[in-house]
Structure 1
């Protein structure tokens, strides 16, 4: 497979593109942009795609875009956060790409530390832990990892079919890995999950427990802190299910997400086939996603029992099915 992921011809400080996808984020956007401009890494471009914001985001972006390091694009129509991130990533020119949200604060050494880690370990994707702050910028007690009980992994190539522990804004991706991941297949549920899957399947992922950003958790996050691990944490499906008035509505929502996971597994299968990787587990997951009991509590538990290493990074959201599986280990 791939080897020598770090180009020998790279300069001492290769260009890093910061990929920021914005939508109605004016409240915290200035703080985020200021922290990008304060990075101690010398070679940075900031690529921003705004997804047809209707608040004060665009005027603020235009003000910051007077800086020659900021490249701003305004979408003609709303694409949604996954396709907007895909478009932003496709416009990046750097040897490395750092994914960026619109409401966090990066520590000055964030990019330099991740570039150093990527080059030292020869990894296509590296990511870090983060401090948590609230909407007013006050520090919360725990880190991203400890607060959400996530087991971070580097080398489990099977762990990212159903779970994701890579928060995009803590990650740095190499150009070579990004070129393999683009364009996103139709079934991609979240951009950072897909990049993590690609990196994990190729064995090119690294992690540091350094806390390199302040991750802001508040009521208007465009995409939450939680990994998309189940029906309750995938997008807003938990809200849909909790507000469902009857069994018919629950089944309709479950049907939508059943199709989304099926399409996601199809994308995983196509990637594996294109890169000469084993496809046996993906084929089993496709069969599982077609089963009638897929989205029941017992359906997920049966999957864990069949593929026990899949729950290596299971967070607290799926603790009961995971614990059930562990009884049989």
Structure 2
């Protein structure tokens, strides 16, 4: 868990972890310089749970993605499975046990990652709806242009963690998108669960919120037009090239094709991107992808 000025909702999240039907867990918190009462709150839970159950380290102070990735690289953390946890969500009691029952169907030495839908709630935990239901299969062709699930739902095994560590310190925008790219690209299993076992809290201070609703869709469209989406993909491609030798051959070829097509002039750009098989999960998303390809915003 990465925290930063988390005092308003952190206790609810920690209590939901304590209430899991799966009881074999340890929470590692990397605090990124909180100026509120987060640290005293964490200390109170350490006193209640014990320091073997709740461990606190200092974050790198470089943003939320770097904070979470610092935990991935922390060699003191050793487990069979790892879960990202946001500071302000609430986990349903069966969140861990359900995810583990699915991800444990993959052999331990094969990379695997679980993610799911979320139940969207407001700051008072009142239900607002659900994140979109994705029905197309997870794949590297999808991962190149879209993150499948939020990090707050993700669990991955130790084999997947080794891939993330092998890639090293890279400049990425989002740790969830990066995990999907790496694990899918290297031939790992990606498990998408339709059941929403995380209550994804929306409030005024969300660093990254849900993309549902007309206002949020408009904000994302504006960022796409301003070139932010293209910049994100630039960062991902640069980082992926460090793992080129670990990518599945077909995914390495797809990465090369995708990279070349992005910089081609209009007609070959549209043709090659279409032939490459890249896709987003929804009809509206694929229309947005076509728009981005037309105007070289991908």
Of 236, 255, 265, which residue of structure 2 is paired with 1:282? 255
Paired position in structure 1 for 2:103: 118
CA–CA distance in 2 between the matches of 1:316 and 1:218?
25
How far 1:188 moved relative to its partner? 2.0
Paired position in structure 2 for 1:220: 205
How far 1:134 moved relative to its partner? 0.9
How far 1:184 moved relative to its partner? 4.4
CA–CA distance in 1 between the matches of 2:178 and 2:259?
17
Paired position in structure 1 for 2:296: none
Q: Is the 8 A contact 2:112 2:160 kept in 1?
A: yes
| Aligned: 1:143 with 2:130 | yes
| Aligned: 1:313 with 2:284 | no
Root-mean-square deviation (CA), in Å? 3.2
Measured at CA, do residues 190 and 231 of structure 1 come closer, stay the same or move farther in structure 2, by a change above 3 Å? farther
Paired position in structure 2 for 1:209: 194
Any residues of structure 2 matched to 1:73-84 within 5 Å, and which? 73-75=57-59, 78-84=61-67
How far 1:165 moved relative to its partner? 1.4
- Provide, for residues 121-174 of structure 1, a one-character-per-residue CA deviation record: whole Å limited to 9, x for no partner: 44611122221111111011x32124xxx44533x2321011111111111100
Q: Is the 8 A contact 1:304 1:321 kept in 2?
A: no
- Unpaired segments ≥5 residues, structure 1: 1-19, 242-249
Q: Is the 8 A contact 2:280 2:286 kept in 1?
A: no
| Aligned: 1:49 with 2:30 | yes
Of 20, 25, 36, which residue of structure 1 is paired with 2:6? 25
Q: SS of 2:79's equivalent?
A: coil
Q: Is the 8 A contact 2:121 2:201 kept in 1?
A: yes
Of 60, 84, 98, which residue of structure 1 is paired with 2:41? 60
Paired position in structure 2 for 1:94: 79
Q: Is the 8 A contact 1:145 1:151 kept in 2?
A: no
Structure 1 runs of 4+ with >6 Å offset: 298-303
Measured at CA, do residues 290 and 25 of structure 1 come closer, stay the same or move farther in structure 2, by a change above 3 Å? farther
Any residues of structure 2 matched to 1:179-198 within 5 Å, and which? 179-182=162-165, 183-198=167-182
Q: SS of 1:97's equivalent?
A: strand
Q: SS of 2:29's equivalent?
A: strand
Q: TM-score, normalised by structure 1?
A: 0.74
Q: TM-score, normalised by structure 2?
A: 0.81
Measured at CA, do residues 323 and 274 of structure 1 come closer, stay the same or move farther in structure 2, by a change above 3 Å? closer
Paired position in structure 1 for 2:20: 39
How far 1:314 moved relative to its partner? 4.4
Q: Is the 8 A contact 1:26 1:57 kept in 2?
A: yes
